[in-house]
């Protein structure tokens, strides 16, 4: 699904990503974890073809960068991020926002068919938002907006779905509700490969069996989450003594 080999990304002669290698296989769901400035956003931009590394090799869905049409490739990658959330008009209908995902457009400018509406409603129902289809997008809560944007991303039937800090700004109830739907989505046999980006360890759900820990633009560790989310590894990662507790198959941290 994703194969990145020894990439370097420099900006103003400074490494943003350095000698980074990472492979995501079909059937895996990954969490990318790192503090602010660790290179998470740049890595996402590499995957989407918005940032091209100065060195190294990138292959997404078996298509190697430099030998493929990136515009067409992006149609197979869904992205939900805070930057997209504020792009839509406040009076745009929820159904219109979801339908726009078919065309990867901000706003709906092309004709849609009855089948498209049925698919959009199916995803809204899956995310418990069908009752909101006629509401203005701008009046929704942040949690509802995030679920609508996930439905929008699914409209294009992506093979990879990137969730870039989707719980940012949500209260604990809205966060847990959104995480519940993400866990449910990961269990769908025909669903996309999920890449979940966060700087909160407690958001690493059981479905994210693998984790990539980024630190200062390099891979600190990668592999199975159960092997990485330990007191020893995380204490070294944070350069602080960390206490780890496990509850409901999730990891919760405190600084000792």
What is residue 87's predicted lDDT score, i.e. its pLDDT? 73
In a domain, 241, yes or no: yes
CA angle 227, 230, 232 (to 5 degrees): 115
Would residue 2 count as lying in a domain?
A: no
Mean pLDDT of 30-36: 94
Please report whether residue 188 resides in a domain: yes
Q: How many residues does the chain have?
A: 256
Query: Where residue 109 falls among pLDDT bands split at 50, 70, 90?
Result: low
Domain that holds residue 155: 29-46+75-255
pLDDT in tens, 167-212: 988 899 999 999 999 999 999 888 899 999 998 999 999 999 999 9
pLDDT bracket for residue 89 (50, 70, 90):
confident
Q: What share of the chain is helix, strand, coil (3-state, %, to 5)?
A: 35, 30, 35
Give one DSSP letter per residue of 14-39, joined into a string.
Answer: EEEEEEEEEEE-TT--EEEE--TTSS
| Residue 173 domain flag | yes
Per-position b or e across 47-56, b if 16+ CB within 10 A of its CB = bbbebebeeb
249 assigned to some structural domain: yes
Mapped onto helix, strand or coil, the DSSP state of residue 222 is strand
20 occurs within a structural domain: no
Domain with 147 in it: what CATH number? 3.40.50.300
- Domains in the chain, number: 1
Three-state DSSP class for 96? helix
- What band does 234 get if pLDDT is binned at 50, 70 and 90? very high
Give the C-alpha separation, 236 to 148, whole Å.
Answer: 38
What is residue 103's predicted lDDT score, i.e. its pLDDT? 76
Is position 206 within any domain?
yes
Q: Is residue 182 part of a domain?
A: yes
């Amino acid at each position: 699904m994703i194969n990145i080999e020894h990439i370097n990304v420099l900006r103003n002669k400074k490494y943003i990503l350095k000698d980074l290698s990472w492979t995501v296989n079909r059937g895996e769901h990954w969490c990318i974890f790192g503090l602010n400035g660790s290179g998470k956003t740049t890595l996402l931009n590499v995957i989407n073809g918005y940032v091209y590394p100065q060195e190294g090799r990138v292959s997404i869905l078996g298509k190697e960068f430099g030998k493929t049409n990136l515009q067409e490739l992006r149609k197979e990658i869904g992205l939900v991020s805070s930057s997209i959330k504020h792009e839509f008009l406040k009076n745009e209908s929820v159904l219109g926002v979801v339908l726009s995902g078919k065309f990867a457009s901000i706003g709906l400018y092309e004709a849609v068919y009855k089948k498209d509406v049925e698919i959009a409603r199916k995803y809204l129902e899956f995310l418990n938002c069908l009752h909101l289809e006629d509401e203005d997008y701008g009046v929704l809560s942040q949690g509802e907006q995030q679920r609508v944007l996930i439905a929008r991303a699914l409209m294009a039937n992506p093979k990879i779905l990137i969730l870039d800090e989707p719980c940012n700004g949500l209260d604990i109830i809205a966060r847990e509700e959104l995480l519940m739907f993400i866990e449910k989505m990961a269990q769908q046999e025909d669903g996309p490969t999920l890449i979940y980006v966060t700087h909160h360890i407690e958001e690493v759900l059981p479905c994210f069996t693998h984790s990539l820990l980024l630190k200062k633009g390099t891979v600190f560790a990668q592999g199975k989450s159960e092997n990485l989310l330990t007191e020893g590894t995380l204490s070294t990662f944070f350069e602080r003594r960390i206490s780890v507790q496990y509850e409901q198959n999730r990891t919760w941290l405190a600084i000792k």
